[in-house]
Amino acid sequence: MKEIIIHDEDVGKRLDVFATDFLQAISRSFVKNLIENEKILVNKARVKAGYTLRKNDIVEFLQTEPEPIEAVAEDVDFKIVYEDEDLLVIDKPQGLVVHPCQTTKHGTLVNGLLAKVKDLSGINGKLRPGIVHRLDKNTSGLMLVAKNDFSHNVLSQMIKDKSVERKYLALLDGVVWENSGKIENFLARDPKNRKKYSVSSSGKLAISNFVVIKRYKNATLVEFALVTGRTHQIRVHSAFIGHSVVGDDVYGKSVDGLNGQLLHSYSLKFLHPRTNKEMFFLSDLPEYFKNYLSKLQEYQY
């Protein structure tokens, strides 16, 4: 246990910000979890993560180290669409977390990859082997995985250069009247909710192009083409234009019968990092997505 008395330089700081700085490499989400589980107290009492520190407050750290996380091989259900000596293309089901973290230590895509694939690139460390880019837990569809550092470096640079074509299908709430459009702004982590991202001038540039595929009475099926790949980009951009992704309980609202947002990475096109051959993959909509669409009433022009 450690006790820290708050002096002038830390007065006015949020508790979670102060604790994250004090614990150095620990993530803010880990710190928030410690606060919620009464592992960090202020004046012997439980407070919220956003508590504003006052002079002479006593902050107690009852736990200062995260529990160790290991990425171990486990039987996890996902489909390998393509595999060669350099890379894999996998089809991730909704609900599957990509890599282990403090809140999800087992049953992730990485755990499953370790059980099914002999070699994975090591650039992203032991907890994210082979992971070139990610999909949100409740976003389904195609993902690239690197089997060696050469392919990882090349694929990562291709994504940075915007030469990997990634397209998604999303069902948006309400009728989108524009047939196509471009959403361009800056996204940053929401200061009021660390699990969310929001439009902010201090954020990173985010660009999404969209085309309307089909309009329903109270929803619109839209194809998104990502120019950049920021965290939650399509979900934030959809909410920004007033049409959140159906089933998105973070940026919109939950829907009975759905376990998350109706957002699917259905198309992936890129040049093979070693052969320079064009690679193109399509993924059919999951059954729950198709079933939901089948129950919708078409828009009457």
> How many beta carbons lie within 10 A of that of residue 50, not counting itself?
13
CA angle 138, 140, 141 (to 5 degrees): 160
Which of 86, 141, 135 lies closest to 281 in space, CA to CA? 141
Distance of CA 59 to the CA centre of its chain: 32
CA triplet 63, 137, 208: central angle to 5 degrees? 120
136 carries an active-site annotation: yes
> Do the bridges between strand 263-271 and strand 140-146 make them parallel or antiparallel, or are there none, so unpaired?
parallel
Q: Cβ atoms within 10 A of the Cβ of 275, count?
A: 10
3-state secondary structure 164-194: CEEEEEEEEECCCCCCEEEEEEEEEECCCCC
- Can you list the positions of beta strands (E) in the chain? 2-5, 40-42, 58-61, 79-83, 87-92, 140-146, 165-173, 180-189, 197-199, 204-215, 219-226, 263-271, 278-282
Positive or negative CA dihedral for 137, 28, 186, 251? positive
Q: Is the dihedral of CA 182, 137, 37, 8 positive or negative?
A: negative
The rounded distance, in Å, linking the Cα atoms of 87 and 150 is: 10
* DSSP structure class, residue 132: S
Amino acid at 257: G
Q: Residue 96: which H helix or E strand, with range?
A: none
In 3-state terms, what secondary structure has residue 123? coil
Q: Which of 136, 173, 249, 256 is catalytic?
A: 136
Catalytic site residues? Answer: 136
